[in-house]
Structure 1
Amino acid sequence: MATQATNSKAQTNEKTREELNKQVASLGVLYMKLHSFHWNVTGPNFYTLHVKFEELYDAVTLMFDETAERLIAIGGKPVSTMKGMLSLSSIKEATEKEDADTMVRSVVEDFTLLASDLKKAAEAADKEDDPATADILTGMVEQLDKHRWMLEKFQG
């Protein structure tokens, strides 16, 4: 009986699984982008931004893992190659040529885009009667909004 229920659920949550996989991809690309910024930031705000980017990639790491694990729990398979992530991601990778101001602006834009995508994924989960997934994604939106707000204040 449990297998039938699991199979039935997997067949009814296709959109949620698709949306979660897109978020896995975006979070994976964002994780690498934040590492690039952490490693490559220079200028008078070096120390502040170096530390902040590390804080942000640590936070994104937790979201990345939680999203992939939730996807597996509901019968999906997370994208796990950089090529695959880049093909699904809404987030664009770093160029390694960004200056500090561009890095901060880019992260603000990425967090805004990702929060919007997570809201869409949460809506899909709600429509497919998966409140646990919707709740996880909504919590991530809250975290991204807070980080974005702080970076916007840093920009002035």
Structure 2
Amino acid sequence: MVYSKTKDILNQIVADLYTMRVIVHQTHWYMRDHGFLFYHPLLDDFIDDIDDQVDEVAERLVTLDGAPYSTLQAFHENTQLEETKGTFDHTIEEQLARLLENYKKIADTLEKGIQISDEENDLVSQDMLIAIKGDVDKRIWMIQGDLGKAPGLEH
């Protein structure tokens, strides 16, 4: 099997997850406000989860005879997420809102990947993406709850 569309979406997810890792780490470094003692270590957990996810997706891509993006330039050129310069000018709430928007973009791409892998009958990739989407949806729910909002999950 070729799984060409699945390989393309998996590589998109690699670029987006790696970029999200950088965004979360930036938030971790540039955090200053009430709640710092809670959020600073919590974001370490977010980073650890993303590290595991991007590794799993990249290894699946290699298993399918694909070539995962593996340079900062490739991640930057192929991500759908927007990076901004780190600054202490944002409240923790504003930074969480930014994380939330990026997690939603990743959730949308994971949903596309689930559909594409189904179309190409790559059930292993589909199962992996479903599990990762469940984890991302949980992060969305947690951040939304902390911001005093309902999960807002559409899928």
TM-score by length of 2: 0.90
Displaced runs of 4 or more, over 2 A: none
User: Helix, strand or coil: the match of 2:38?
Assistant: helix
Shift of 1:121: 1.0
The count of aligned residue pairs is 146
Instruction: Give structure 2 stretches of 5+ with no counterpart.
Output: 149-155
After superposition, give the CA deviation of every residue in 1:39-73 in whole Å (9 maximum; x if it has no partner). Answer: 11111111111112111111111101000000000
With normalisation by structure 1, the TM-score equals 0.90
Q: How many angstroms apart in 1 are the aligned matches of 2:92 and 2:73?
A: 27
Residue equivalent to 1:16:
6
Residue 70 of structure 1 corresponds to which residue in structure 2? 60
Provide structure 1 residue ranges, at least 5 long, that are not aligned to the other structure: 1-8
Q: Does 1:42 align with 2:32?
A: yes
Which one has the bigger helix percentage? 1
Shift of 1:96: 0.5
Where do residues 130-149 of structure 1 align in structure 2 (5 Å cutoff)?
130-149=122-141
CA distance in 2, matches of 1:93, 1:55: 21
Sequence identity (%): 26
Q: Which residue of the other structure, out of 85, 97, 122, is the alignment partner of 1:105?
A: 97
Alignment of 1:111-122 (within 5 A): 111-122=103-114
Pairwise CA RMSD of aligned residues? 1.0
Higher Rg of the two aligned structures: 1
